[in-house]
Structure formats: structure tokens, C-alpha cells
């Protein structure tokens, strides 16, 4: 794909580029864009083309274009629970950060895929609606939260989600109920079905402002005191293994502070790997593998990644 896009950096006369700016505005189409500028880990090589559509119709048209032109297509999300390899991503990469509206109607909140789930929880607070307090510290987008059924402190997205609008791999717009997403612990069928989440509808319950805020303040304190927010990271790297806690296993394996290049197992919370000093994606991924191998060797427990790894090696 890189060869097919040769010369595109001049941003002229390439048919795919020209068709994309015909679908959305020119400022929404970036060529050879460093994806490290768009990920929470600050890792990742270049995207051939990064496009940031502003409407559902634009998303559908871009998906249909990629299909008709047989161009590789990748949905980036907002880059919170993601590692992009140093070689970047070929073809068209889509970021939905501009689909970020949040609207409240009675006890229902409808939020765009690119809205931060933290901001949705704050909107719920302001509207005196309870149920999303657990999400006040989750760094990802609404789309990412649905993708992995994000959760924290005993709550999960599936507990409050009613329905979602998605675009399927053929570019069709679908409305799906929460039951149709097969949500379970940190999983849904969204990746398997290759759906692109456009918006989510949450059903909440009226509650007292002070009680909602008290819970959110407590959870925020716990997050800030325990998580290494001072460094770029992908959040919690591993799923919780049955009967164990990933962070405790890593700590008991004497891996806390272990560093490969600029990537380090956090000294604050062993379940996090931070980009402490200009790490490459290769160093970050190597440290993940080292942690998995060491924990398996010491305790016979296979840690499963929660974070997604995409892209190409250099």
C-alpha cells in the first residue's frame, strides 16, 4: 500500500486523496500523519492517510470508498487502549474524534463515538443522572468503551447502554440494541463484526447531585492516587485473570520498575506500562511480552492483553 501511495505527501493528484477530500473537507484528510500524535501512549509510525469525518454520512462514504478501491482501512478510535507499531498503518486510517456531541433528553444521554466517556459521565452529573459514575476515570472514547465493554469499580458499559448506531463493513447504517452486542467482561462482538460505532444511547436514573459527585470524587481520588497518570500509557495492559489480579502477579514477579528502552512497568501500579522516556512501540511491546513470559514462568498464569496492538513493524 505504501508504494501505491508514493508521492501522496505532496497532496496532489492521487485519486484516493482526491476522492476523500470530495467526501469530507480538505482539513479532515492528513497525509503521512504520525500516529504518535493521536495515541495515549505517544507511540506509532505514520498513517498513509488519516481522515477525521464529521458526519455519519461521511463515515459511510469513506467505508464504501475503501471497499470499492480495495484500499486497506483501519479504525483508530481515540487511541487510548491501543498500541500502534513503529511502522505505522497502510491505507486509510479513520479517527472519529469529531463525532463528539453529547445530548441529554430526560433520563437518556446520546453521545457520539468520539466523545470522551469521562465527559459523558460529567454530563450525567450536571443533569443529576446516576449510573455512569464508574466511567469518570476511564480515558477512552464512547466508541472505545463500547468496543471493549469498558468498566471500572464494579460498573460496566453494558449496565447502562440501551442501543448504538454503527456502520457495518459494507457501509450500511444499523441501529443495534445492547443485547445484540454480546457484551461480556471487556468484550463485545463489535471487533468481530467489524462495526464502526457512531453513537451510543445510555439510560440513567435520577439521583441527587451531591451523591453522584461524592462517588465520582472518591473514584477520581482512587484513580489519581493509584494510577501513573504523569506518563503516557495505554491504561491497564492486561485483563484480570480468573482468581488473580494482574498487577499483584506482576508485582510478585519482581517486575515493578522493569524497563526496556524507554518503556517501564510502572512503579505506581504494576498493571500499567508507561512511556517513561521516549519509548518506541517495539520496546513497549517487548516489555509486555517479557511480563507475560515471566508471570507464566513464576505462577503458571497466562496474562491476556487488554490493550490492542495494530500496525506494521519497521
Active site residues: 186, 236, 306
In sequence order, which ranges of 189-313 are alpha helices (DSSP H)? 190-193, 209-226, 246-252, 281-299
Total Cβ atoms within 10 A of residue 301:
17
Contacts of 224 (CB under 8 A, 6+ apart): none
Beta strands at 46-51 and 89-94: parallel, antiparallel or unpaired: parallel
Residues 6 or more apart from 107 whose CB is under 8 A from it? 129, 203, 204, 205, 206
Which cell numbers in the block locate residue 128?
443529576
- The residues near 153 (Cβ < 8 Å, ≥ 6 apart) are 134, 219, 222
Distance from C-alpha of 213 to C-alpha of 87, rounded to nearest angstrom: 43
The helix (run of H) or strand (run of E) holding residue 61 is helix 56-69
Tell me which residue has cell 512501540. Answer: 281
Which element (helix H / strand E) includes 106? none
Amino acid at each position: 500500500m505504501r508504494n501505491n501511495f508514493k508521492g501522496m505527501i505532496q497532496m496532489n493528484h492521487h485519486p484516493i486523496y482526491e476522492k476523500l477530500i470530495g467526501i469530507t473537507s480538505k482539513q479532515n484528510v492528513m497525509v503521512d500523519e504520525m500516529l504518535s500524535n493521536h495515541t495515549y501512549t505517544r507511540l506509532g509510525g505514520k498513517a498513509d492517510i488519516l481522515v477525521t469525518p464529521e458526519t455519519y454520512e461521511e463515515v459511510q462514504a469513506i467505508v464504501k470508498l475503501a471497499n470499492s478501491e480495495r484500499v486497506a482501512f483501519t479504525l483508530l478510535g481515540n487511541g487510548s487502549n491501543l498500541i500502534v507499531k513503529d511502522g505505522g498503518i497502510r491505507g486509510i486510517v479513520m479517527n472519529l474524534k469529531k463525532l463528539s456531541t453529547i445530548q441529554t433528553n430526560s433520563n437518556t444521554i446520546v453521545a457520539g463515538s468520539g466523545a470522551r466517556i469521562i465527559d459523558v459521565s460529567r454530563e450525567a452529573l450536571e443533569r443529576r443522572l446516576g449510573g455512569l459514575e464508574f466511567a469518570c476515570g476511564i480515558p477512552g472514547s464512547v466508541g472505545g468503551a463500547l468496543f471493549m465493554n469498558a468498566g471500572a469499580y464494579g460498573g460496566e458499559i453494558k449496565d447502562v447502554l440501551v442501543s448504538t448506531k454503527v456502520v457495518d463493513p459494507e457501509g450500511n447504517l444499523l441501529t443495534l440494541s445492547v443485547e445484540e452486542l454480546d457484551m461480556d467482561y471487556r468484550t463485545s462482538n463489535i471487533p468481530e463484526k467489524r462495526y464502526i460505532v457512531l453513537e451510543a444511547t445510555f439510560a440513567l436514573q435520577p439521583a441527587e447531585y451531591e451523591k453522584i459527585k461524592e462517588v465520582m470524587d472518591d473514584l477520581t481520588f482512587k484513580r489519581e492516587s493509584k494510577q501513573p497518570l504523569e506518563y503516557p500509557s495505554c491504561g491497564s495492559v492486561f485483563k484480570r485473570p480468573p482468581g488473580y489480579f494482574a498487577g499483584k502477579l506482576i508485582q510478585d514477579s519482581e517486575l515493578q520498575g522493569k524497563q526496556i528502552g524507554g518503556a517501564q512497568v510502572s512503579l505506581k501500579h504494576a498493571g500499567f506500562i508507561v512511556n517513561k522516556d521516549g519509548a518506541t512501540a517495539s520496546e513497549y511491546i517487548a516489555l509486555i511480552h517479557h511480563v507475560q513470559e515471566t508471570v507464566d514462568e513464576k505462577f503458571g498464569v497466562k496474562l491476556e492483553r487488554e490493550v490492542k496492538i495494530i500496525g506494521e513493524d519497521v
